[in-house]
Chain A
């Protein structure tokens, strides 16, 4: 008894902070994700592999690897990584190019993965690039210091991630990952720079460009091809129900038929091969169908909580580098979650973005957990006195 009380007192008196709330939110999302992956994929997995838990097992393995990596990273002081910033940038570039090498793996009509010889697991260079970009920009912000206030510094910061984003888009044909890399960078620069005007102008500019593009596609035949078809399918998914609009429409069927309380866990009809790859990008629609608006709101609240916890950590980070790292992670998770839900609900045109911690995807979950490890590492450096 005495020893236990003694131990408890020691923890209360601990000098440093460990964010258990953040950890629990992440563990909840991971666990929930595994349940939903099993629910969404078991039917198709049994059809295809004769093993209903095929996807669940693979995701569980990736989650365990990710959790181990997270604990390791959380216990390494984050300044350790500062020296690898440039190396990380180069490595991501090399990995992206390696997709074209014989090690590259093609799946779902796109060449975006690198096979790790002998393991049967694939790694997506875009996921590596996102992590490396967060590290690189955090270091860059610290190095550049006050010159970020100048126009030159600002433009330099905006252009720094472009080569990687460009390579992701051109080499792996992965527009969504490129957008996420750019999005993370913009958010980090936004926090690093004291200015608001530039970002409002930038935001308005992007909105106008998007509106102009949509206008051009819908009113003229000037721009054709795959992406314009996606725009058409977005504006009216029922117009091409068997083609490009198919997946979106199937997702809407799932969401709509969920109603307020949902059909109950495991009761989704759309996962019975109607919605292709239900465990991937479209898993949120299965959540909606099975758990209803109630479940969907719960997930959104969990993401808001997650971001809130990370915001607290960023605000109390002992130094700029730590704060910027956390901001990068916030950007990454928030952008992906928002874009994913927006795609599934047909709020924006369809593009492949996975829901963090929940969608099936090994690379994604491992790198996300490493990022959480970084955040926890930053949190550990917060001195409780300062709170």
Chain B
């Protein structure tokens, strides 16, 4: 029994205990308030992130349009069919339907349907009509997601310039790479609430974050000029049995490129397909030894090579395949360098005139060769051009005269102008993988090297570099940046950004530039470039025929640079034929290409004939 004394302290202790315990509950209450009021947002967000599974929605990639608004790269709606294992009900039905609609083998579909994974893709790039049909079956667990696929309406047109996109809609080559950030847009998301195993919670529904479409890119290319240039190039390649033919058409005043062709082009809608001829050629070079011995069997062997090539297409290793594809995708106009040959005499002439070591009236005598130090360098005309002034030397493309001009400048000055004209730098064109110039080091340059450089040999530049430098020589001495990108527009057609490109003024005086224009006009009207003459227009230009390394291989590069009108150049073009068979002189095979081109595009561009002026 409790004594009264004991009872009092027990009661006190019990009440103390009660308050102690209550205090602890109050502390926990405080902790709960902190967690559920102050930290609620933080934990709720984390929890939401945990509960939601996201499927991304591809953003429509921006289109690429030419200067007239013709769509060159577009998007096509396609569907991706996938299955979610946990949501499938009638697997057999699903397998049957997917086999039938997607035209796949049962084994292939069964493997994927029965695979235990959160989401298994059955087929992507399915036509929208088929996707809609599958959706109508309303099969639980079968997802039809709409998606965009890049589509190039003109197939091969400007393939190496436009480039194409990969599986994640990212640019792989060409403009698609350079303008990726404008074109790509922002992908959206479908967020579905799921339990820990990834099963969708039906009542919770879906949350969508809409994708933002990419911006449209307007480029300076003109589809008509590009198409025509491609036809000319393909024709020349076929008739001259050349390895490749490149044509660039540009506005020399601002650097806008109207066309850039490098045949053979490839199909942008099937960029990973290796053409049969290419495979046959590869196979042919591999099997050359056996094929050559017996000429009678050559045709047979050729056929065999083609059929072998078809099987070899699959047999190629991934690395070999990629090498071949990289070769196919290569844009010769900017990715490859070559010895420019006589077209480079424009640069020597411009430097000589600017420095004053030569005037158009200066007279020279060409005996058919020139001795530089201990080396005898021959003119292409073995008998020599005899006495001639500088204008005629240019018209004749006389090597000894240009060597003389180069030597008068000396290594220091020549190198100075070479750099001043921007030849050591890249042009800065908005295409990936531009090759740099391969040039002697200044300290390694002797008279012999200087002599060869003077007429365009022993160093290498890209075609776009040559065209850009030629442009600055004839446009009054402004080094322009060649480019395609003009502006980007958003979905509503508002201009997002207009691109500006650097222009370097005064690399050449206006007088020298004018002199160069008139000399180069003479080259076309009466000199070696007369095949480039266009009835009714004043055209200037320069031809070149260069032998590729190693010398004596019988491989040549024929080229011609032409511009019009000669007194106020609005368009400049270069045609390069790589390894033509038969006649290989630039003046005879490359100049006519530019002539044909100009005959068509000058009126098209609204350039008036001189007698209309």
Contact = CB atoms under 8 A, between A and B. Distances in A.
B195 A255 contact: no
A124 interface: no
Given A190-B17, A272-B196, A304-B25, A323 B10 contact: yes
Interface hub of A190, A191, A273 (most chain B Cβ within 10 A): A191
B416 interface: no
B43 A253 contact: yes
Contacts of A345: 28, 31-32, 35
A255 B32 contact: yes
B13 interface: yes
B6 A292 contact: no
Interface in A10-42: none
Interface stretch (B45-53, B112-120, B434-442, B547-555): B45-53
B28 A293 contact: no
Nearest to B41: A256
A372 interface: no
A176 B407 CA distance: 98
Contact of A288 (B9, B15, B21, B32): B32
Contact of B39 (A256, A269, A270, A323): A256
Interface string A311-332: 1001100011001000100110
B2 A319 contact: yes
B14 A257 contact: no
Contact of B195 (A272, A297, A342): A272
B503 interface: no
Interface in B194-214: 195-197, 201
B43 A255 contact: yes
B17 A256 contact: no
Nearest to A270: B47
Contacts of B21: 304, 307, 330, 334, 338
Nearest to A342: B28
A360 interface: no
Interface hub of B21, B31, B193, B197 (most chain A Cβ within 10 A): B21
A327 B17 CA distance: 9
Contacts of B50: 253, 274
B37 interface: yes
B42 interface: yes
A257 B40 contact: yes
Given A253-B46, A259-B40, A347 B11 contact: no
Interface string B21-35: 110110111011101
B387 interface: no
A93 interface: no
A16 B441 CA distance: 115
Contacts of B2: 319-320, 323
Contacts of A260: 36-37, 40
Interface residues of B, number: 40
A330 B10 CA distance: 14
Given A269-B51, A319-B2, A256 B193 contact: no
B394 to A, nearest CB: 77
B12 to A, nearest CB: 9
Contact of A255 (B17, B36, B196, B201): B36
A269 B43 CA distance: 13
Contact of A323 (B14, B32, B37, B48): B14
B28 A314 contact: no
B14 A254 contact: no
A270 B2 CA distance: 52
Contact of A269 (B41, B42, B47): B47
A272 B201 CA distance: 9
Contacts of A331: 17
A273 B47 contact: no
A187 interface: yes
Interface in B160-215: 193, 195-197, 201
B315 interface: no
Interface of B is mostly: helix
A320 B10 contact: yes
B37 to A, nearest CB: 6
Contact of A319 (B1, B22, B196, B201): B1
A91 to B, nearest CB: 28
B101 to A, nearest CB: 33
A255 B9 CA distance: 41
A307 B14 contact: no
Contacts of B419: none
Contacts of B193: 269
A316 B565 CA distance: 118
A186 B168 CA distance: 67
B28 A191 contact: no
A94 B14 CA distance: 32
B142 to A, nearest CB: 23
Contact of B43 (A192, A256, A297, A307): A256
B197 A293 contact: no
A47 to B, nearest CB: 8
B8 to A, nearest CB: 9
Given A300-B29, A338-B28, A274 B17 contact: no
Contact of B35 (A43, A192, A256, A334): A256
Contacts of A136: none
Interface in A260-296: 260, 269-270, 272-274, 288, 292-293, 296
Contacts of B18: 307-308, 311, 330
A323 to B, nearest CB: 6
A338 B17 contact: no
A224 interface: no
B22 A256 contact: no
Contacts of A245: none
A125 interface: no
A338 B39 CA distance: 21
B44 interface: yes
A385 to B, nearest CB: 16
A207 B525 CA distance: 104
A300 B193 CA distance: 32
Contact of B36 (A259, A270, A330): A259
Nearest to A333: B21
A254 B47 contact: yes
Given A307-B22, A308-B18, A319-B2, A256 B10 contact: no
A67 interface: no
B577 to A, nearest CB: 64
Contacts of B46: 253, 256
Given A256-B35, A334-B24, A345-B32, 11 more contacts: A187-B17, A252-B43, A257-B47, A273-B195, A293-B37, A297-B32, A304-B25, A311-B17, A315-B10, A338-B21, A338-B25
Interface of B: 1-2, 6, 9-11, 13-15, 17-18, 21-22, 24-25, 27-29, 31-33, 35-37, 39-44, 46-48, 50-51, 193, 195-197, 201
30 contacts: A190-B13, A191-B13, A192-B10, A252-B35, A252-B39, A253-B46, A255-B35, A256-B36, A256-B41, A257-B43, A259-B36, A269-B193, A272-B195, A274-B51, A293-B33, A300-B28, A300-B29, A303-B25, A304-B25, A314-B14, A315-B15, A320-B1, A320-B2, A323-B10, A327-B14, A334-B21, A334-B24, A341-B25, A345-B35, A347-B28
Nearest first, the 6 closest Cβ-Cβ pairs linking A and B are A256-B43, A272-B195, A273-B196, A253-B47, A257-B44, A293-B36
